[in-house]
Amino acid sequence: MNEKKYLYRFLESPYVSIDNNRAENAIRPFVVGIKNWLFSNTQNGARASALIYSLAVTACANGINVEDYFDRLLTSDAPVMPWNE
């Protein structure tokens, strides 16, 4: 009963969702990645995989073609930030 005001918050505001589907869908690819990183041979290999995955997800989140982004990252002398596109 003490938490009732928080549970009914979604009734007061149309911007608050009754579920957390958006949050769970956002982390789902990362969970799949974790399962893949279990099979890395070394800690450095797992870190490298996580770094590349993080860069790819950041590019996707900013609406950038991942292949083009990696191409520019590997060939450009200047820093390439996806949010400055």
pLDDT in tens, the chain (85 residues): 788 877 777 778 878 777 788 778 877 877 777 777 677 788 888 788 878 888 888 888 888 899 998 998 889 888 777 666 5
Residue 51 has a pLDDT of: 85
Q: At what angle do helices 21-37 and 43-61 cross, to 10 degrees?
A: 150
pTM comes to 0.55
pLDDT the model gives residue 67: 93
Q: What is the dihedral of CA 47, 48, 51, 57, to 10 degrees?
A: -120
Are 29 and 57 contacting, i.e. CB atoms less than 8 angstroms apart?
yes
Would you list the domain boundaries of the chain?
Answer: 4-84
Burial 45-68 (b: 16+ CB within 10 A, else e): ebeeebeebebbeebeeeebeeee
